[in-house]
Amino acid sequence: MKLTEKIMADCKKATFLIEKQQFKPLTLGEQVKLKIHLAACSWCRTYERQSKNIQLLMGSVFRHSATKTKELDPEFKNKLKILINTKLENE
């Protein structure tokens, strides 16, 4: 495996862990792997900052909305699921 392929694979795992940690705690092993990767990868550090900012902004949008619950239109939600699954299968 080439170095660039190894880095990309590690970045893919790191971005997954960045997103995961916003919703539930990472295992000790995941925390260690992510910290090591972030220490060496400025792209993923930038991604982590941007992801946290997006979560904060989205949280404030939903907290300050007039209604208590916001949901996607079920048809749009299904189309989005199909699109995401298709993209994941093609990678």
Q: Tens digit of pLDDT for each residue in 14-26?
A: 999 999 998 899 9
Provide the CB-side half-sphere exposure for 75 (13 A, CA): 0
More confident residue, 18 or 59: 18
Q: What is the pLDDT of residue 63?
A: 66
The H or E element that residue 25 is part of is: none
What angle do the packed helices 3-21 and 28-40 form, to 10 degrees?
130
DSSP annotation of 64:
T
Residue 52 has φ and ψ, to the nearest 5°, of -65, -40
pLDDT above 70: percentage of residues in the chain: 78
More confident residue, 11 or 64: 11
Q: Six-digit token pair at 89? A: 């299968």
Q: What is the pLDDT of residue 65?
A: 59
Residue 65 has φ and ψ, to the nearest 5°, of -75, 160
